Structure 1
Amino acid sequence: MFRAGMWGLAALVTVAALSGCANKGRLAPVDDHSISGARGGAIRVWPGAENADKIGYYTVKPGDTLIRIGMDNGQSWRDIIRWNKLDNPNLIETGQVLRVAPPPSDVAVAAPRPVASQPSVMPAKPVEPALAAPAAADDALNFQWPVLGNLIAGFDESKNKGLDIAGKAGDPVLASADGRVVYAGAGLRGYGNLIILKHNNTYLTAYAHNQTLLVKEDQIIKRGQKIAEMGNSDADQVKLHFEIRRQGKPVDPAKYLPGN
């Protein structure tokens, strides 16, 4: 009887200690816009959740960052912060619904539309102005090669979102077209020191693995301007990884660049 009583007392002491530890480490309740689930749990309901799956909105997935979301949707990450009134740009959560297209009231211009150079070969039959599509001006960019070097990896939609071009450390990296710097930094895993230029409402270009960045965000850039120096940041060799994105989607740069 005495032994059983001792075991009972020890059990009570253990339970009390564990309960005290659990309460000690628990944070104060947070107002997270939750509602009760069917089993009494909490389901996070984000403001704007009614816009999920609508055009111009994006639902955050595990591992997302604002830089990645911006690049994948052809937008500046700073614009996404502004459109969504985010208090902490470093804190986005899975399931959060973000606006990734300008609101109707937003009249800010992301970048002055560059004037396209005349193509080296004129089209066989000019398009009548009355028949030209509204997006035609956005498409009329005259891209140039960002570096001179050997192509070591071509575009592959599933494996390589752009072109990999070899070179020497310190070689100049040039802007492929007029635009505005919407990102300059090393915050996107797999890209090293990265620059993203927004050229108009249709096109972005990305320049990765640089050793030195020579421009800052919001800086207006001219075609052919030196924006970085070639390197091997977050890469296994010195190279430039170059992407062209049309409305956020990677396209084959070789189809937009002049023949070598």
Structure 2
Amino acid sequence: MSFAFKSIVILFLMVFISGCINPQAVNQYTDNRGSYLVKRSDTLYSIAWRYGLDYRELAQWNQIAVDATIYPGQRLILIRPSSSELPTQSNQPREQSSQSFEDSADTAGNSQQSASVSAFQGNDPRSWLWPTEGRLISTFSAKQLDRRGIDIGGKLGQPVVAVADGKVVYSGNGLAGYGNLIIIKHSDTYLSAYAYGQQRLVEEGTTVEAGKVIAKMGNLKTSTARLHFQIRKNGKPVDPLRFLPER
């Protein structure tokens, strides 16, 4: 099987399993060799999230650091390349000081954030908090694309909190189907995501403690307010109820 054909097949599978993706947006920013054209507000984490990838592998395939700056118009590959097809130096970011094009934190700020993130490495998911109050109205299913997390019903505008200490690696509304979305990195292994928000209250690069209010609950897709909450382990969705305390 040729690399080009294999690339097409793998890209199709990634789009199929990712769920909640606008096909028009996928066609606009991807090509038939399994690459992605970075657009404004993208981060390495949001791109990895969109395609169900481990952000560390995505960085490795493109020969960039996980905290590298990425720029609109930069092309990233989405599949593991052969050794002869690794990105050239021209694909490297101009500097590696921040997470996204819009993040302009200075060197001192980055050093402080790096130190904070290193403290999260031992974060134990068994001690995580619930992200909001309310009734569980939808559970996780690995077989259904629109149930890669859980939905918690509540009141419009009620607080949504970080489930554990971490760093905000995405805060935006650029991922189709998620509305206002916040992604928090808790360790090299675990990420959590909070979608359908009415309002985002934290910016990318912010370090947060467990219980900090990060968003207000919204009502995307439905007439009733709800939070869509996901946990990803090494880039793959896992059942949040395995990690949240019983209540």
TM-score by length of 2: 0.59
1:83 matches 2:64: yes
CA distance in 1, matches of 2:199, 2:131: 15
Match of 1:154 in 2: 139
Secondary structure in structure 2 of the residue aligned to 1:111:
helix
Q: Do 2:36 and 2:75's aligned partners in 1 also have CA atoms closer than 8 Å?
A: no
Q: Do 2:37 and 2:76's aligned partners in 1 also have CA atoms closer than 8 Å?
A: no
1:70 matches 2:48: yes
Distance 1:196 1:74, change over 3 A: farther
Alignment deviations for residues 52-99 of structure 1 (CA, whole Å, 9 cap, x no partner): xxxxxxx736899755532233439x9788817787435547777689
1:240 matches 2:227: yes
CA distance in 1, matches of 2:78, 2:54: 21
If each structure's helix is expressed as a fraction of its own residues, which one has the higher value? 2
CA distance in 1, matches of 2:148, 2:158: 22
Q: Unaligned regions of 5+ residues in structure 2, if any?
A: 5-32, 87-95, 97-110
CA distance in 2, matches of 1:236, 1:82: 44
CA distance in 1, matches of 2:168, 2:120: 14
Distance 1:95 1:208, change over 3 A: closer
Aligned-pair distance for 1:209? 0.3
Alignment deviations for residues 103-125 of structure 1 (CA, whole Å, 9 cap, x no partner): xxx9x84823338xxxxxxxxxx
1:204 matches 2:191: yes
Distance 1:87 1:258, change over 3 A: closer
Q: Do 1:179 and 1:221's aligned partners in 2 also have CA atoms closer than 8 Å?
A: yes
Distance 1:201 1:212, change over 3 A: same
Write the letter of the residue equivalent to 1:213. R
Write the letter of the residue equivalent to 1:179. G
Q: Do 1:139 and 1:202's aligned partners in 2 also have CA atoms closer than 8 Å?
A: no
Q: Unaligned regions of 5+ residues in structure 1, if any?
A: 1-42, 44-58, 100-105, 116-136
Q: Do 1:114 and 1:199's aligned partners in 2 also have CA atoms closer than 8 Å?
A: yes
Q: Do 1:210 and 1:228's aligned partners in 2 also have CA atoms closer than 8 Å?
A: yes
Q: Do 2:37 and 2:73's aligned partners in 1 also have CA atoms closer than 8 Å?
A: no
TM-score by length of 1: 0.56
Match of 2:239 in 1: 252
Match of 2:120 in 1: 114
RMSD over aligned Cα atoms: 3.9
- Percent of aligned pairs with the same residue? 38
Q: Where do residues 89-168 of structure 1 align in structure 2 (5 Å cutoff)?
A: 89-90=72-73, 92=75, 109=114, 111-114=117-120, 137=122, 139=124, 142-159=127-144, 160-168=147-155
Alignment deviations for residues 160-187 of structure 1 (CA, whole Å, 9 cap, x no partner): 1100011111100000000000000000
